[in-house]
Amino acid sequence: HIIVSAKDPHSPCSDYLSTCSLLRCFCGRLIGQHVGLPPGISSSQNDKAERLVKNDSLSEKWSISKHTQLSPTDAFGTIEFQGGGHSNKAMYVRVSYDTKPELLLHLMTKEWQLDLPKLLISVHGGLQNFELQPKLKQVFGKGLIKAAMTTGAWIFTGGVNTGVIRHVGDALKDHASKSRGKICTIGIAPWGIVENQEDLVGKDVVRPYQTMSNPLSKLTVLNSLHSHFILADNGTTGKYGAEVRLRRQLEKHISLQKINTRIGQGVPVVALIVEGGPNVISIVLEYLRDTPPVPVVVCDGSGRASDILAFGHKYSEEGGFLLVTIQKTFTYSRTQAQHLFIILMECMKKKELITVFRMGSEGHQDIDLAILTALLKGANASAPDQLSLALAWNRVDIARSQIFIYGQQWPVGSLEQSMLDALVLDRVDFVKLLIENGVSMHRFLTLSRLEELYNTRHGPSNTLHHLVRDVKKGNLPPDYRISLIDIGLVIEYLMGGAYRCNYTRKRFRTLYHNLFGPKRVSGGPALQFPILLMMHVHVSACLLVSTTRKREEEVDIDLDDPEINHFPFPFHELMVWAVLMKRQKMALFFWQHGEEAMAKALVACKLCKAMAHEASENDMVDDISQELNHNSREFGQLAVELLDQSYKQDEQMAMKLLTYELKNWSNATCLQLAVAAKHRDFIAHTCSQMLLTDMWMGRLRMRKNSGLKVILGLLLPPSILSLEFKNKDEMSYMPQDQDTYLQEKEEEEPEPAMLGKVSTEASRKKGVGEVQNRHRLIPMGRKIYEFYNAPIVKFWFHTMAYVAYLMLFNYIVLVKMDLWPSPQEWIVIAYIFTNGIEKMREILMSEPGKLLQKVKVWLQEYWNITDLMAILIFSVGMVLRLQEPPFMSYGRVIYCVNIIYWYIRLLDIFGVNKYLGPYVMMIGKMMIDMMYFVIIMLVVLMSFGVARQAILNPNEDPSWMLARNIFFRPSGCIYEEVLPAQINASQSSSNRHISTSTTGAWIVPAIMACYLLVANILLVNLLIAVFNNTFFEVKSISNQVWKFQRYQLIMTFYERPILPPPLIIFSHMTMVLKHLCCRWRKHDDEERDYGLKLFITEDELKKVHDFEEQCIEEYFREKDDRFNSSNDERIRVTSERLDMSEHNPVMFKYNT
């Protein structure tokens, strides 16, 4: 700890100490209280001592330097104020009046753990108690607290519970619920005037302190609402002044500390004057003459010195009236008044540094505005530096009203550094203000700045460093610098599935390597980073978005190309940054700006949900996971509300929003992003379900009895021609795969050429009409193709084939098995093996690029895992079945067991039905609950089974039958009513024989009674209760869950070949031949895109973006209307109007 020196007085009359112990020294203490007095002083020698002291005082004047001595401080620790309902605590220290300010600041920041202030408010005024007008006191306290809370300020006062300091304490008390632990109020008081100072003596102690003052004492108590005390000691008692020099030097030293290292801005200091005596005017002059000068805020109407300063500020030319006012106010003689008048006029020479707060005056409704406005005027800084001050204080109202004023000229790019500071400091309002005043995010956001934002240490704590460590699979050095490529890996890790971030693509890696070099690509500490900032290199959108999707190849990048300057969608990048850095308000702000708001909301929802999962898996604090889950729900709700708004305005455009290709988000669609985020409400929305229904029907137009019509079409193909089909306009919002899109595009290529030859407008309209007629008249071959290609037709076709397969499987396991497989068995074998080939096709044609990632994504579906196991088990059974007996019997048994799974597989088919689907989902949930129950049941069953078997059969030989007997009888007791009677009979006869000859057999019935009580009554009823709870819990969301799972079923059959197994092998052969022909004809390495999406032109994309922006504007307009019409908002507006009427009735009348 820092040990700061304190003063202790020693005798000024050391030669006569033996005779003057009861006299009072010039320091204010009795002579007997001085350090180093010899014992046995006689009180009868007072007259002589008094004379000697007086004579000595004539020859030598008492001084602090000569008549006091330094010693290590003996008073520091914590004060516990007594006498209130709640015991307030404050740190304190006793120091010498000439202690170096750097030592005090070190004590405050290191020992007291105080953050360096962004503003220092020094309150001066009267030391004697005085009354303030109630309204002025309320405004003063509210404004002072607001100024301190919003700016992170320190408040310096005199520390004692008198005068203006008492009013500051009352303000802190009135706002204790808001300000406790947030406002740093430091009282700097003389040690010699502190009441009960002996109670504070002790080193690093906790001392109780009574706040009741003694009316007969000249000493005063400390104010209990302060957070810290610095008690300045100059060896005197009962005298003020020891703290003046110390306080001023400390304020000066704090003002030299840098709160903004970029512009070298120190901590601003402002003096707040409330009431006060003549010495306060001298203090004001000292502040104004300082270098640099300190601005002063005077509270008019508080009395005495404040009113004189306010009057002089307004009427400085009326000297005679001022002189009279000074005489009356301070009861001064004319000479004294003239001297004070001269000081006052010196202050008025710098009246631009004095701000007078008049309650109710226009422009000064709150004292905090007056304080901060005075600081801006006194700073004498440029507009960008003033903006940095307002940014440090987090007062956007000051920046809006005082800095961004009409006529203010801003150099090009001068606001970009302020924008960077606002982003780093998480100042959302400032970011909004800067954008409103012309900052272009398109020009601002560069590669280097985005990377700097990801590496900032400011703002809320986040899990980004842990995520980077997970994707890098190793420990990171403390000075590790996160690269954008690392961020790309983190985003892909969190998004999962086939998501591919732009930061990990080949073109971006090449660009990054060219700009930063190989050292930065690896993510190590970068020496080139400052150089890159000086180069101010920007990144191009066209490099971040791989529109051609070429494979790994060399990319030539021209860094001098003017098109390489900007991100295409800077708000996308900044929103992802804010989400990963856990800055929710900033992320919501960026979500509102730019294009693709729905996609941004869904991406943010998924990222937050994945980060919450990672936080819970890494055993972090529960609050982090809960906060991230809350953020995820907030973004998810925004996505649903935006979808609902767009659906109300235009159904087809809303469906286009769901299915158009998002080139900036891994070429996915909003529907795919919602499924990746497991956003059930979004998928269950009417718009999403209508789209899924249309996708399910394909090009067929039918709503009623669709299943019967499809089955009839499959059984009687001529009936297909009687079905209705949708025209091309009705299919304009339907997603499709790349092959279908390219095929339709090739079919339409002659049409633009033909239409281009027509020169007149009439001919053009005629051509368009012919095209539309041709689209409405669908050829017969096209009808047949569209019928069999519809997912609903594929579903019924495959379901009918599956039922036939199960019937044949039933036949081969129920009848006698021959040595050589029958035709029916060969069909079953062919079905299962072609089904296995179909699973391989699903893996190879899935969206992820790498094979390993394809397999991982495919295995995320539980049915795929069980299908794989069932096919492998069947393969083992088939191999054994083709062998000679007895292996053939083993194979047959495997067949019999394997068919159980294929019957259970029917549940997946039932999932398409809106009545059976929710029940299937409930069964799955209950199976999970039952697994936990089985574990508990196993413990109880084992405990009884082992004890019973050991008691009744003490002489058993080692055998696997022991394990069977442990489980068989106890489990049979649970289902006693359904067990065959012969089992009970045989068991009872053997038990009677054993029970007569086995020691302790009588214990078994007692144990069985306890076991049946626990198992049959407690555990079984517990399971029923759990099932009942699961049923009601799942019932409420079963419809949403079924609608969500319906998407996966539709996608499965949308992508599945037309022919079912085993005929599906012909579809596979067709696919392979088609792929080989395309490769031979095109000779390119273009990557295939197997996802379903809506491919639209640039003009159509612009229309979709415009429609989405209109929906967002309408959404926020309706939201604001609902908020403004709410009761709470009406009450708040009414309260503000009442406050305005009290402050300034004239202005209120004018506004009204």
pLDDT of residue 866: 93
Residue 979 has pLDDT above 90, yes or no: no
* Out of 85-89, 198-202, 874-878, least confident range: 85-89
Residue 522 has pLDDT above 60, yes or no: no
Task: Give the tokens for residue 849.
Answer: 């690029």
pLDDT of residue 869: 95
Pair type for strands 269-274 and 296-299: parallel
Q: Does residue 884 contact residue 891 with C-beta atoms inside 8 Å?
A: no
pLDDT tier, 32 (very low <50, low <70, confident <90, very high otherwise): low
Q: For residues 431 and 437, what is the distance between their CA atoms, to the nearest angstrom?
A: 10
Q: What is the mean pLDDT of residues 851-860?
A: 87
In a domain, 1073, yes or no: no
Q: Does residue 401 contact residue 391 with C-beta atoms inside 8 Å?
A: no
Do residues 1138 and 1011 both lie within one domain? no
Task: Give the tokens for residue 377.
Answer: 């005027």
Residue 995 has pLDDT above 60, yes or no: no
Residue 773 has pLDDT above 70, yes or no: no
Residue 15 has pLDDT above 60, yes or no: no
Task: Give the tokens for residue 177.
Answer: 């619920």
In a domain, 768, yes or no: no
Q: Does residue 311 contact residue 249 with C-beta atoms inside 8 Å?
A: no
Q: What is the mean pLDDT of residues 764-774?
A: 46
Q: What is the mean pLDDT of residues 933-958?
A: 84
Domain boundary among 891, 910, 929: 910
In a domain, 807, yes or no: yes
Task: Give the tokens for residue 436.
Answer: 């409103």
Domain boundary among 860, 893, 910: 910
pLDDT of residue 710: 92
The widest CA-to-CA distance across the chain, in whole angstroms, is 139
DSSP three-state, residue 860: coil
Residue 127 CA to chain centroid, in angstroms? 48
Q: Does residue 218 contact residue 228 with C-beta atoms inside 8 Å?
A: no
Structural element, H or E, at residue 187: strand 184-190
Q: For residues 386 and 295, what is the distance between their CA atoms, to the nearest angstrom?
A: 15
Cα angle at 630 between 919 and 661, to 5 degrees?
A: 75
Q: For residues 140 and 303, what is the distance between their CA atoms, to the nearest angstrom?
A: 14
Q: For residues 118 and 311, what is the distance between their CA atoms, to the nearest angstrom?
A: 31
Residue 400 has pLDDT above 50, yes or no: yes
Q: Of the segments 5-14, 325-334, 386-395, 684-693, which one has the largest average pLDDT value?
A: 684-693
pLDDT of residue 187: 95
Spatial neighbors of 58 by CB under 8 A, at least 6 apart, are none
Domain count across the chain: 5
pLDDT tier, 1 (very low <50, low <70, confident <90, very high otherwise): very low
pLDDT of residue 1135: 67
- For 138, counting Cβ atoms within 10 Å of its Cβ (0-12 exposed, 13-18 middle, 19+ buried), the class is middle
C-alpha dihedral sign at 1107, 596, 1039, 706: positive
Do residues 133 and 200 both lie within one domain? yes
The mean pLDDT of the chain is 81
Please provide the DSSP assignment of 340-351 as one string: HHHHHHHHHTTG
Q: For residues 892 and 883, what is the distance between their CA atoms, to the nearest angstrom?
A: 11
Residue 433 has pLDDT above 90, yes or no: yes
pLDDT of residue 604: 96
Do residues 162 and 116 both lie within one domain? yes
Q: Does residue 281 contact residue 342 with C-beta atoms inside 8 Å?
A: no
Q: Does residue 242 contact residue 234 with C-beta atoms inside 8 Å?
A: yes
In a domain, 150, yes or no: yes
Q: For residues 164 and 121, what is the distance between their CA atoms, to the nearest angstrom?
A: 14
Spatial neighbors of 911 by CB under 8 A, at least 6 apart, are 917, 920, 921, 1042, 1045, 1046, 1049
Residue 903 CA to chain centroid, in angstroms? 46
pLDDT of residue 963: 81
pLDDT tier, 264 (very low <50, low <70, confident <90, very high otherwise): low
Task: Give the tokens for residue 234.
Answer: 């100059």
- The pLDDT tens digits for 413-426 are 778 888 999 999 89
pLDDT of residue 262: 59
Do residues 84 and 42 both lie within one domain? no
Do residues 59 and 125 both lie within one domain? no
In a domain, 350, yes or no: no
Q: Which residues pair with 155 in a beta bridge?
A: 121, 185
Do residues 968 and 900 both lie within one domain? no
Q: For residues 856 and 876, what is the distance between their CA atoms, to the nearest angstrom?
A: 25
Spatial neighbors of 588 by CB under 8 A, at least 6 apart, are 634, 638
Q: What is the mean pLDDT of residues 1078-1085?
A: 59
pLDDT tier, 180 (very low <50, low <70, confident <90, very high otherwise): low
Q: What is the mean pLDDT of residues 529-542?
A: 39
- The pLDDT tens digits for 237-260 are 888 888 899 999 999 999 999 876
Q: Pick the residue with more confidence: 311 or 972?
A: 311
Q: Does residue 916 contact residue 910 with C-beta atoms inside 8 Å?
A: yes
Structural element, H or E, at residue 258: strand 258-260
Q: Which residues pair with 186 in a beta bridge?
A: 156, 228
Q: For residues 540 and 1038, what is the distance between their CA atoms, to the nearest angstrom?
A: 46
Residue 460 has pLDDT above 80, yes or no: no
Q: What is the mean pLDDT of residues 396-420?
A: 82
Q: How many distinct helices (H) and strands (E) make up the chain? A: 52, 14
Residue 309 CA to chain centroid, in angstroms? 49
pLDDT tier, 547 (very low <50, low <70, confident <90, very high otherwise): very low
- Report DSSP state, residue 861: S
Q: 952 phi and psi, to 5 degrees? A: -80, -25
Residue 836 has pLDDT above 60, yes or no: yes
pLDDT of residue 824: 93
**Rg, the chain, Cα only:** 43
Residue 693 has pLDDT above 50, yes or no: yes
- Alpha helix ranges (H) inside 3-92: 46-59, 64-67
Domain that holds residue 808: 792-910
Domain boundary among 910, 927, 943: 910
Nearest to 155 by CA among 228, 243, 76, 259: 228
Pair type for strands 89-96 and 228-233: parallel
Structural element, H or E, at residue 121: strand 120-125
Task: Give the tokens for residue 498.
Answer: 């086939």
In a domain, 466, yes or no: no
How far apart, in Å, do the first and last CA atoms of the chain sit? 60
Q: What is the mean pLDDT of residues 977-982?
A: 43
- The pLDDT tens digits for 342-356 are 999 999 998 889 999
Residue type for 839, please?
A: K
- The pLDDT tens digits for 47-74 are 544 554 555 544 567 777 777 888 888 8
In a domain, 340, yes or no: no
- The pLDDT tens digits for 715-765 are 999 998 888 888 877 777 788 877 777 776 666 655 444 444 444 444 444
pLDDT of residue 23: 58
Do residues 1046 and 962 both lie within one domain? yes
Q: Which residues pair with 96 in a beta bridge?
A: 233
pLDDT of residue 87: 72
Task: Give the tokens for residue 1107.
Answer: 């429609």
Do residues 818 and 895 both lie within one domain? yes
Q: For residues 604 and 609, what is the distance between their CA atoms, to the nearest angstrom?
A: 8
Q: For residues 656 and 787, what is the distance between their CA atoms, to the nearest angstrom?
A: 24
Q: Of the segments 386-400, 609-623, 861-875, 902-916, which one has the largest average pLDDT value?
A: 861-875
Q: What is the mean pLDDT of residues 538-543?
A: 40
Q: For residues 358 and 470, what is the distance between their CA atoms, to the nearest angstrom?
A: 59
Contacts 24+ apart (CB under 8 A), 280-283: 280/124, 280/125, 280/126, 280/305, 280/306, 281/305, 281/308, 281/309, 281/340, 281/343, 281/344, 281/347, 282/343, 283/124
Do residues 856 and 901 both lie within one domain? yes
690-723 in b/e form (b: 16+ CB < 10 A) is ebbebbbbbbbeeeeebeebbbebbeeeeebeeb
Do residues 206 and 78 both lie within one domain? yes
Nearest to 666 by CA among 859, 496, 839: 496
Do residues 30 and 85 both lie within one domain? no
Q: For residues 918 and 1041, what is the distance between their CA atoms, to the nearest angstrom?
A: 7
Do residues 41 and 85 both lie within one domain? no
* Out of 173-187, 702-716, 934-948, 1090-1104, least confident range: 173-187
Q: 653 phi and psi, to 5 degrees? A: -65, -35
Residue 781 CA to chain centroid, in angstroms? 55
Residue with the two structure tokens 């010495």: 279
pLDDT of residue 637: 95
Helix axis angle, 416-424 to 447-454, nearest 10° = 20
Reported pTM? 0.79
Nearest to 250 by CA among 93, 39, 69: 93
Structural element, H or E, at residue 534: helix 529-535
* Out of 345-349, 547-551, 892-896, least confident range: 547-551
DSSP three-state, residue 306: helix
- The pLDDT tens digits for 615-660 are 888 776 678 889 999 999 999 999 999 999 999 999 989 999 999 9
- Count of CB atoms situated within 10 Å of the CB of 39: 5
Residue 1083 has pLDDT above 80, yes or no: no
In a domain, 822, yes or no: yes
Residue 2 has pLDDT above 60, yes or no: no
- The pLDDT tens digits for 195-205 are 988 889 999 99
Q: For residues 527 and 196, what is the distance between their CA atoms, to the nearest angstrom?
A: 59
- The pLDDT tens digits for 1114-1131 are 999 998 888 777 666 667
- Report DSSP state, residue 61: -
Q: Pick the residue with more confidence: 570 or 950?
A: 570
